A and B are shown apart, each in its own frame.
Chain A
Amino acid sequence: MIEEAPRLMHEMSIAGSMLEAVRAEAARHNAHVLAVGVKIGELAGVDSESLLFCFDALVQDTDLAPLSLQIERLPWRNRCRQCAQDFAVQEYRTECPQCGSPDTEAAGGQELEFAYMEIEET
């Protein structure tokens, strides 16, 4: 069972949650799912390679195989509280590149979301 898989990496738990969702969606669409696409922000605390490793390990030898995981990484973005500029944070520089204010807040990068599935009707 997915829930009983060892979870010493949290990517294993996350991969398990993904498979539960895929299984439910496959049943809902009455289809075989070939691929699932996810968006993962730079601040999500999730390593892509670990996630792919765990995902493949959990999928193999199940009825969901073959199933591929397609990961889109999203950058860390902040928004300036003074001038509302939305910008990608690079090299931990969180001050506003437009007006120079240090007063900025997170606007993106924590995503851990599904985006799409590629399915084949059965």
Chain B
Amino acid sequence: MTRVPLERKVLNENDRLAADLRQAFLRYGTRCVNLISSPGSGKTMLLERTLESFEPGRRVAVLTGDIQTDNDAQRLARYGFPVRQITTGGACHLDARMVTQALAEWQPDAIDLLLIENVGNLVCPTSYDLGEEARVVLLSVTEGEDKPLKYPATFHRADLVVLNKVDLLPYVPFRMELAREYIRRVQPDAEIVEVSSTTGVGLDAWRRWLDAKASVEQTFGSGRPLDRALQGPL
């Protein structure tokens, strides 16, 4: 028996596809945001309010992932922007291959902002890079403020944490300062916004964060051409 070194990442195929996506996004100036949360934290409703607030003609598109049904895509399509459902048929997370396939029929240079709603799950999407520029984790106040400590891997990778459903604060024992402290412990660099999609509180701050993301000066990648990255054989 011989022991031989094997030095590579386990998910290097996903990482390779995600790197291709990232390069394509850079080349075309597409800002990609990956939204992750438990089921029922309010990802879809936040996206509805977000799309509703965009002027017509805004070059925004949405990919939404679910294990079953295209209910979310139907909800999101009402706002007149391109929406595509990714139905994973069992998988608890999106991966870079699914995103690549879903984008294949769109003109990537026509999208300035790509919002990806991951499958509702606070664990599984964590390991899968989708080529996003920023990762947003939603935590609703009905879930309990210790979620960042229970799911540190997920919150550790967050660029922004949206504390959602703050309109319900009077009715639930959620300690906002403690939640913020737990997020800071797990990821001190994460920005935090408090939002209610129902009342509209905090949506301005969320929009400002998104718009700041969307207006970062365009950088051009070099390497694999986009048509191969987005449409070539997987």
The answer to whether A119 and B1 have CB atoms under 8 Å apart is yes
Number of interface residues of A (CB under 8 A): 44
The answer to whether A114 and B2 have CB atoms under 8 Å apart is no
The answer to whether B156 and A43 have CB atoms under 8 Å apart is yes
Of all chain B residues, which has the CB nearest A114? B6
The answer to whether A116 and B95 have CB atoms under 8 Å apart is no
The answer to whether A17 and B11 have CB atoms under 8 Å apart is yes
The answer to whether A45 and B10 have CB atoms under 8 Å apart is no
CA gap between A39 and B95 in the complex, in Å: 21
Tally A-B pairs: CB < 8 A.
111
The answer to whether B10 and A114 have CB atoms under 8 Å apart is yes
CA gap between A8 and B32 in the complex, in Å: 25
A115 contact set on B, CB distance < 8 A? 5-7
Interface residues as binary, B1-42 with A (CB distance below 8 Å gives 1, 0 otherwise): 111111111110110000000000000000000000000000
B93 contact set on A, CB distance < 8 A? 10, 13
Interface residues as binary, A1-45 with B (CB distance below 8 Å gives 1, 0 otherwise): 000001111100110011011000100010100101110001111
A119 contact set on B, CB distance < 8 A? 1-4
Known: A10-B93, A94-B188, A102-B188. A112 touches B10 (CB 8 A): yes
The answer to whether A38 and B90 have CB atoms under 8 Å apart is no
Known: A17-B11, A113-B9. A92 touches B185 (CB 8 A): yes
Of the listed stretches B107-115, B121-129, B134-142, B206-214, name the one at the interface; the rest are far from the partner chain.
B121-129
B residues in contact (CB < 8 Å) with A: 1-11, 13-14, 67, 88, 90-93, 95, 123-128, 149, 151-154, 156-157, 182, 185-186, 188-189
Determine whether A72 belongs to the interface, using a CB cutoff of 8 Å to chain B: no
Determine whether A86 belongs to the interface, using a CB cutoff of 8 Å to chain B: no
Determine whether A59 belongs to the interface, using a CB cutoff of 8 Å to chain B: no
Known: A7-B90, A10-B93. A113 touches B124 (CB 8 A): no
Q: How far is the CB of A97 from chain B (nearest CB, A)?
A: 14
B151 contact set on A, CB distance < 8 A? 45
Determine whether A117 belongs to the interface, using a CB cutoff of 8 Å to chain B: yes
What are 25 A-B interface contacts by the 8 Å CB criterion? A6-B90, A7-B92, A10-B124, A13-B93, A17-B10, A17-B11, A20-B13, A25-B6, A31-B2, A36-B6, A38-B10, A42-B152, A43-B153, A44-B127, A45-B126, A92-B185, A94-B188, A113-B8, A113-B9, A114-B7, A114-B8, A114-B10, A118-B3, A119-B1, A121-B2
